[in-house]
Amino acid sequence: QPTFVITVDDPQRVGDPIRAYTMYTVHTRTTSPLYSKSTFSVLRRYSDFLWLYETLSLNNPGVVVPPVPEKKPVGRFDANFVQQRRNALEKCIQKIASHPVLQKDPDLKLFLESDTFALDIKHRKAEIAHEKGGLMASIGQSVIGPRFYETDEWFDRQKAYLDSLESQLRGLVKAIDTVSRHRSEVAAATGEFAQTVSDLASSDVGQQLSASLAGLADVERKAQDLQNAQAQEDTITILSTADEYARLINSVRMAFTSRIRTYHAWQQADSQAKRAKQQHETTRAQGKMTADQIPRSLSQVAEAERRALDAKTDFEQVSRLVKTEVARFEQERIEDFKSSLEAFLDGMITRQKQVRLELFRRGHTFTLMFTLHSSLPHGKTTSRLYSRRSARQLQGRQESRPSLFPS
């Protein structure tokens, strides 16, 4: 299977203040023979990713297409939001390119390597509208048509499971977001405390105590940086994964919906075949069909029955594909959450070790200096104590040293 390594970086705000948008650079390295080059880069905006997602969903019924992040009309140029969206878009396009079915789709190739994408996409939209009719506008909407009665209990069980999983993931996203915000608030409070201690160290409290307070302020600033890093890590690891799979559940539902569409297409083709056969038999029984017309009428009946059989085969294939895709979804969900949790815990442990080490180092120095400062008589300084102690030690060494010229 060909490999793809895709990165999305360098987000840039372009356009006038009213219609501004963010443009991303998409870098691709691939071994696929479908591409003329092995390495190439293009510029894409969010709406381009959204078009790719909708088109791939339409082109590949039954496939669970990795979703793009949701739209956000307010605060979409905030630095943290842009970074989160960039990361989500990168994961999305990498998963699409790694999918054994989607990586062969010509529209993915168009997205990844076209230098005239704005023009090409207009032609593709016209082609899709001609081929699929109004299906493009119905992506993500409920199916309109005869009532569908499920005959496979597996799909009913999966729908109930997805509802429960979505509720749990939404709750997890909310909880992690709350923890991340609280961690940022703690970091801000730690920074204020560090600044207060630093200001106190600058006041007239004595040289030794001032140095100790300055050291404590440094420790608190370090703790603030680590708290901010942990809050950001919460968003990058667990939160982004939980949010991704909460959205991915909707893609699974869309795969289920595409199966229902193929079922309706089968039923429609089957009804047409039955009408064609009934019309042939009625016309022939009434004697309104000449001998020359019989072969043509039989050919039309055979063609209608063939289309009905093909539609039934499509429905059965999509049903099997959906089951395969759900199994793939479950496997990737377990692996992704495991990787995210490991990265989250490893980062937390590393940062906690850094804080403890810094506290121990600074605290040990602070304790020694504070003890020494407290043991001095009032008004004396550590420098005077050091001077007297050094003088006594020097005198002691001189007295114990043997003389070269004994008297």
What does the pLDDT read at residue 382?
42
Alpha helix locations (H) across 61-140?
Answer: 79-98, 106-113, 117-132
Pairing of strands 4-14, 21-30: antiparallel
Task: Indicate if the pLDDT at residue 372 is higher than 60.
Answer: no
DSSP 233-264: HHIIIIIHHHHHHHHHHHHHHHHHHHHHHHHH
Contact yes or no for 231/180 (Cβ under 8 A): yes
Q: Which of the given ranges, 37-46, 71-80, 126-135, has the highest pLDDT on average?
A: 37-46
What does the pLDDT read at residue 380?
47
Helix orientation angle between 293-374 and 207-234, rounded to the nearest 10 degrees: 170
Q: Residue 303 and residue 311: Cα distance in Å, rounded?
A: 12
What does the pLDDT read at residue 354?
78
What is the pLDDT confidence band of residue 348, given thresholds at 50, 70 and 90?
A: confident
- Give the SS3 label for residue 5: strand
Task: Indicate if the pLDDT at residue 304 is higher than 60.
Answer: yes
Q: What is the mean pLDDT of the chain?
A: 84
pLDDT per residue as tens digits for the range 233-292:
777 778 888 889 999 999 999 999 999 999 999 999 999 999 999 998 888 888 887 888
Q: Residue 120 and residue 141: Cα distance in Å, rounded?
A: 26
Query: Residue 333 contacts by C-beta under 8 Å, 6 or more apart in sequence?
Result: 245, 248
Task: Indicate if the pLDDT at residue 368 is higher than 70.
Answer: no
Q: Residue 359 and residue 215: Cα distance in Å, rounded?
A: 10
Domain range list for the chain: 1-139, 168-395
What does the pLDDT read at residue 405?
38
Give Dmax over CA atoms of the chain in angstroms. Answer: 154
Q: Residue 396 and residue 407: Cα distance in Å, rounded?
A: 20
What does the pLDDT read at residue 203?
82
Which CATH code, of 3.30.200.20, 3.30.540.10, 3.40.50.720, 1.20.1270.60, is assigned to 168-395?
Answer: 1.20.1270.60
The model's pTM is 0.76
pLDDT (average), residues 363-371: 59
| Superfamily classification of domain 1-139 | Phox-like domain (3.30.1520.10)
Task: Indicate if the pLDDT at residue 226 is higher than 90.
Answer: no
pLDDT per residue as tens digits for the range 46-92:
999 999 999 999 999 999 999 999 887 777 888 888 988 999 999 99
Q: Residue 180 and residue 39: Cα distance in Å, rounded?
A: 38
Query: Residue 59 contacts by C-beta under 8 Å, 6 or more apart in sequence?
Result: 105, 107
Q: Residue 333 and residue 327: Cα distance in Å, rounded?
A: 10
Query: Residue 195 contacts by C-beta under 8 Å, 6 or more apart in sequence?
Result: 217
pLDDT per residue as tens digits for the range 163-213:
999 999 989 888 888 888 888 899 899 999 989 988 888 887 777 788 878
Q: Which single residue is written with the structure tokens 């990498």?
A: 94
- Two structure tokens written together for 391: 């003088």
DSSP 11-58: EEEES-SSS-EEEEEEEEEE--TTSS-SEEEEEEEHHHHHHHHHHHHH
pLDDT per residue as tens digits for the range 307-325:
999 999 999 999 999 999 9
What does the pLDDT read at residue 381?
45
What does the pLDDT read at residue 379?
45
pLDDT (average), residues 350-368: 70
Which among 202, 185, 59, 44 is positioned nearest to 118, based on CA atoms? 44
Task: Indicate if the pLDDT at residue 406 is higher than 50.
Answer: no
